[in-house]
Structure 1
Amino acid sequence: MTSSALGECLDLVLEARLDEALDRLAAEHDGATSPGRRARFAAVAAFGAALAARHAAARRWAELARSQADDAASLAVTTAAETFSSCLAPPGDGARPSGELRFDPGWAEEDACVVGYLATEAAMSSGRLGDAEAFALAYLDRTWEASSQAPLMARIALARALVFEGRVADAAEAIAVSRVEAEAAGALPVRMLSASTAAYIEALLENVGETERLTAFVVALDPEPSSYVTVGSHLLCAFGLGAAGLTDRAAELVLRAAGGPALPRLQTVDRAYGYELLATAAIERGDLRGARAWGRRVAPLQIHDMAAAAVERTLSRIDVASGHTESGVERAAVSAARALVAGGRLDATRARVLEAAAHAAAGARGAAVAGFRDAADEADLLGAAAVRTWSARELRRLGRRLRPAAGAGWQALSDREQQIALLAAEGFSNRMIGQALFLSERTVQSHLSRALAALGATSRAAIPASLGRARAPIALDGLTERQQQVASLVAEGCSNRTISQRLGISDKTVEKHIQAIFARWQVSSRTGIANRALAPLPAPEGRLA
């Protein structure tokens, strides 16, 4: 690895060897021969002091860097350090950012390596998720030699940005790579942050056992965290436990890691998230007075859109629990809007669940049902299974259910839905099924719609193929070769237009072949063709004669 004094200092910071790092940075600053070079060391010192929660020192270092910066890279690293410091410090105590975050991968190795990483973290800390993702992707497109730890941390930052943007599958892929890298070459903070980010993602995927395992791993690595990264790792594990419904354990972890009720070891936006967990736990315990106390602490923390979204979610919960449902609805809607401004689709979806819950508490049943279903659909798109389950649970309290997720499969259906799907697959109409099962046609159609969604079937005729894809087709006896092709495509649920496009024939010719198949096989529907073209289905209970 190419020697880089600035990169070596950054590695000391990221390894949480903060006293050693700050002493080295001060010495390098004093020994530098140009203002721009001194500014670089001062900016990294500001970053390190902010991580050490020495906010006055971080501000002084940032001001010194600003006074000495005289070229594009030194100005960029100074802006990144200022932005990061301002987010970690109590409101008004941090450095004041001057200029926009920027990073040019084409800069010299040392500059690009250090500035790119700091810009990524600064964007993440200030709630600019899209910028954080863009910086991280550009950064990870190069191989760096100036720092060993910064590239590892940048990949974790990418995963964190992706998950809060609501791209859960992409985040899971990024963190899987990170876990391998971190265990191979990462210092303790890198290993902890990678594992804790994975814990949160696994919770969203409803892998609760893995979330608990990773949380135990992180806590065992550092039971009494004190640095920004190690404390933040405990907090991410708490997020995971909260997403998994283990709210009391999440609250306990927040208080222990963050240093007590004031959460002094957390940066501002993390304090907002921490208070949200604490207020939620209090409400679930029936401690409304305690929840209101957490609400008073969280209210001033709206330093940017993502922080404001967390504040409004917390206050919405408290308002609803206090009977102030109208303001609860309004706060949840504001939270969703603020999260979307920052690109936080996951947090926006969580806010929509709260908005629907507020409608339910206000007695607005229709708005609540629609809200829960919309939130569940959005959670499904994001891959946030835990949020979808939360919506489904709230909807069940209203006596309603979600449609199964598209392609969820046979096991996602109730016994009644399976029964109706099998009868429909045999070609029976809704009226016939309803008469046999003593159900209204409307109820049959409702069950059938859920079955079609779960099976990924576009029509009744596609149900046999959806249920029997593992079965080998039986002989298509008595048909011409072209009629066999048409019958097979009908069994897949294809429309006449799709069949005509696949076979290169007209819609009218397809219809003629279908009528011929009806006559040859003595069936009267496309579902009848599908049943004849595929092997028999299991006999449903309540089979019609």
Structure 2
Amino acid sequence: MHRRRALDTVLRQLAAGDSAGANETAASTSDDTNDPYLLGLLAFGQFMSQDFELSARTAARALDAAADPAALMLARAAAGLAATGWASEGPDTLIAARDDLALLDGTDPDSETFIRYLLAEGALSGGRLRLSGEFLAASPDLSPDFLATDAGPHPFLTIMRIMRVRLHCFQGRITEAIELGEAARELATETRAELLVDATLCLLRGNAAQKGQVREIADWLERALPDPTDHLSSGCYLLVAFGLIATADVARAARFVLLAGGTPGLDKLTILDRALGLEMLVAAAVSDHDLTSAAAWRERALPLLDDRIARPTIERILSRVDLLSGDAASSERFAASAVEHAQEDDRAIEVAEGEIVLARARIALSRRGAASASLEVLARSSVGSGHLAARQSAARELRSIGRRLRPATGSGFDGLSARERAVALLVVEGFGNQAIAAELHLSEHTVQVHVSRVLAAFGVPSRFALAAQLAPLLPQTTDDAAPPPLTPRQHAVVDHIVLGHSNEQISHQLGVSVKTVEKHVSEVFRRWNVASRIGVSRIARTREG
């Protein structure tokens, strides 16, 4: 029972911000019981105190002394987490734990839950998102009964829930992460846990391109957050910085980073957080065209280049500074490598940022076509996951070269400019490109571009399909007289016209030749005295009404 009591007490103290008390509890209980399990718990407390080197040493002692499955797996988890703050040349304890997860079967349920959390947290903190996802996939959902008492749920449970939210976010699954984050906010019962959730929501809202909400949350947390004195409180400042940078509030993000890091070298942060923080500081200098400051921050980042955890982030830093200094070719090489390395670990947010940096380098190299193509792909892929900040970033880069993103499929009129909306209405009225050009005083080429964007916005392949989709929005004919009758075959053709089908599609559906369909369409036009398929659709819908 001493393990459960120690775990309960240490986690309560850490959740309350008393990392010194937590370490005292773990150390004294370990001395009294000579239990290596408590050494693993102490190593975790030391990590939360941001003493990463000591945490790594204590975890190594726990590994050497572990004599039962729970102690061994906790030691491996603690060592894996410590390695994200203090680089180690030792074996990969997280991989060893993944291969031996069956050892947790039959251990105390609360201990098993915590160890599984710690394994996933260690992988996430090291940027190994794929591995973190594997740990969570092999774990049951968090139970509200974890270390629960009559007083209610354990306060550390919110911290464990937020780890899952962060993983979803950094994998680029923003919509899902926001749902989980809002649910965690409802369940949070302690002040520090609520602040952590709010900081995480700032990160999420930023990546969802909700700039106003990010500003409100950042304003609130700037007043409410305590001074950063441990890993948890520093993490809150860093999460706010991530949210701000996602909305292009670079200068304010840099201020939060410096508060989180404690020193100019951001030494209080883990390896990956230090790299990401330095990247934000470089971005702030680059936005001010301050090469001297950008180069100074780069020098602080360079020692991390060979670290697997930090490599893609440092490569983006080098790309940014090289581009500012005029070496676009080197900038492109570093950015391309950064994208590749981030993809290896499923770091989707970093992949997107790498694509933006890469596009800038390609634009500088006059490779605008390649830049535009990659930005279009990024924008399309970001919409479904809710990562709208990436779409906005892609749009900004395209605007810098006089181009625009294709409207998001399904965005309809909301995704179009006023001129494009006018083109859409003329298309459904049956105007051809030449007639539209004359009506709006545009070139046919410009009309062609507008039409392609209109089709993309409504997610339709042809003018016929567009006409069918927009016909209900147009005024119906006011002619009370019934239209001249049609043959059954002509009625069948009209039914397909209303659905937006082309002559080829109607031919296939009715089992007749395209030429026969053309004759039927012409005859319908003649009998109903219309000049376009939209005219046919409007009369047909009036009859249905």
TM-score calculated relative to the size of structure 1:
0.87
Match of 2:180 in 1: 174
Deviation at 1:378, TM superposition (A): 3.2
- Structure 1 residues 247 and 95: CA distance shift in structure 2, 3 A: farther
Any idea what the Cα deviations from partners look like across 1:307-359, whole Å, max 9, x if unmatched?
A: 21111111111000000110000010011001100101221121111111111
Q: Give the superposition deviation at 1:441.
A: 2.7
Distance 2:210 2:146 in 1: 37
Deviates more, 1:53-62 or 1:139-148: 139-148
2:123 aligned partner: 123
Look up the SS of the partner of 1:5 in the other structure.
helix
Shift of 1:163: 1.5
Could you tell me whether the CA contact under 8 Å between 1:140 and 1:154 is conserved in 2? no
Report the CA distance between 1:469 and its aligned residue: 5.0
Q: Partner residue of 1:219?
A: 222
Q: Which of 150, 153, 160 is residue 159 of structure 2 equivalent to? A: 153
For residues 303 and 17 of structure 1, what CA distance do their matches in structure 2 show? 35
Question: Structure 2 matches for 1:96-245, cutoff 5 A?
Answer: 97=93, 100-102=96-98, 103=101, 106-107=105-106, 108-139=108-139, 141-143=141-143, 145-147=145-147, 148-182=154-188, 185=189, 187-245=190-248
Give me the whole-angstrom Cα distance separating, in 2, the residues matched to 1:366 and 1:422. 30
TM-aligned CA deviation for residue 276 of structure 1: 0.6
**Distance in 2, Cα, partners of 1:21 & 1:482:** 82
Partner of 1:88: helix, strand, or coil?
coil
Question: What SS does the corresponding residue of 1:297 show, helix, strand or coil?
Answer: helix
After TM superposition, list the pairs within 5 Å mapping 1:263-278 onto structure 2: 263-278=266-281
1:24 has 2:25 as partner: yes
Secondary structure in 2 aligned to 1:87? coil
- Aligned equivalents of 2:506 and 2:135: distance in 1? 47
| Secondary structure in structure 2 of the residue aligned to 1:405 | coil
Unpaired runs of 5+ residues, structure 2, are 148-153
Q: Counterparts of 1:418 and 1:263 in 2: how far apart (Å)? A: 50
Is 1:40 equivalent to 2:37 in the alignment?
yes
Going from structure 1 to structure 2, the CA distance change for 1:96 and 1:339 (only over 3 Å counts) comes to closer
Contact map agreement 1:462 1:530 (CA 8 A) in 2:
no
Which amino acid in the other structure matches residue 101 of structure 1?
A: A
- What amino acid sits opposite 2:362 in the alignment? H
Tell me the equivalent position of 2:48: 51
State the distance in 2 between where 1:434 and 1:6 align: 77
Query: What does 1:277-292 align with in structure 2 at a 5 Å threshold?
Result: 277-292=280-295
The 3-state SS of whatever aligns with 1:100 is helix
Matches within 5 A, 1:350-499: 350-467=353-470, 469=472, 478=485, 487=494, 489-494=496-501
Aligned to 2:11: 10
State how far apart, in whole Å, the 1-side matches of 2:499 and 2:307 are: 51
How far did residue 149 of structure 1 move?
3.7
Which SS does the other structure have where 1:281 is aligned?
Answer: helix
| Partner SS, residue 11 of structure 1 | helix
Between the two proteins, the alignment pairs up a number of residues equal to 525
> Which 5+ residue runs of structure 1 have no aligned equivalent?
536-545
Query: Is 1:427–1:527's contact at 8 Å kept on the other side of the alignment?
Result: yes
Change (3 A) 1:304 1:507: farther
Preserved CA contact (<8 Å) 2:43 2:59: yes
Map 1:295-374 → 2, pairs under 5 A: 295-302=298-305, 305=308, 307-374=310-377
Following the alignment from structure 2 to structure 1, what is the Cα–Cα distance between the partners of residues 504 and 198? 51
CA distance in structure 1 between the partners assigned to 2:192 and 2:491 by the alignment: 63
Amino acid at match of 2:402: G
**Corresponding residue SS for 1:332:** helix
Corresponding residue for 1:88?
85
1:11 corresponds to which letter in structure 2? Answer: R
Q: Residue 493 and residue 7 in structure 1: after superposition, are their counterparts in 2 closer, same or farther (change >3 A)?
A: farther
Residues 22, 45 of structure 2: 8 Å contact kept: yes
CA contact (8 A) 1:206 1:385 kept: yes
Change (3 A) 1:51 1:497: farther
Equivalents in 2 of 1:303, 1:296: separation in Å?
14
- Per-residue deviation at 1:142? 4.6
- The superposition leaves residues 98-136 of structure 1 with CA deviations (integer Å, 9 ceiling, x where unpaired) of 752334574431231121111111111111112223433
Give the partner amino acid of 1:358: A
Are the equivalent residues in 1 in contact too, given 2:43–2:56 (CA < 8 A)?
yes
What CA RMSD, in Å, does the superposition of the two structures yield over aligned residues? 3.1
Change (3 A) 1:456 1:514: same
Output the CA distance in 1 between the equivalents of 2:97 and 2:193: 24
Summarize the Cα distance change of 1:506–1:299 in structure 2 as closer, same or farther, 3 Å threshold. same
**Cα gap change, 1:146 to 1:386, in 2 (>3 Å):** closer
Structure 2 CA distance for partners of 1:444 and 1:261, relative to 1, 3 Å: same
2:237–2:259 CA contact under 8 A, matched in 1: no
In the other structure, the counterpart of 1:530 is: 537
Distance in 2 between residues matched to 1:507 and 1:272, nearest whole Å: 65
Deviation at 1:266, TM superposition (A): 1.1
Q: CA deviation at 1:297?
A: 0.8
Call closer, same or farther: CA 1:333–1:311 in 2, change over 3 Å.
same
Structure 1 residues 59 and 508, CA gap change in structure 2 (3 angstroms): same
For 2:25, the aligned partner's letter is R
Equivalent residue of 1:371, what SS? helix
Query: CA shift at 1:151, angstroms?
Result: 3.5
CA distance in 2, matches of 1:99, 1:343: 17
Amino acid at match of 1:128: R
Output the TM-score relative to the length of structure 2: 0.87
In the alignment, residue 124 of structure 2 is paired with which amino acid?
Answer: M
| C-alpha distance in structure 1 between counterparts of 2:374 and 2:141, whole Å | 40
- Worse overlay, 387-396 or 364-373: 364-373
1:432-480 per-residue CA deviation (whole Å, 9 max, x = no partner) reads: 2223334333321110010111123332123244445567977995467
AA aligned opposite 1:26: A
CA distance in structure 1 between the aligned counterparts of 2:489 and 2:207, rounded to whole angstroms: 49
- Residues 13 and 291 (structure 1 numbering): CA distance in 2 closer, same or farther, change over 3 Å? same
> Separation in 1 of the partners of 2:426 and 2:474?
18
Percent identical: 32
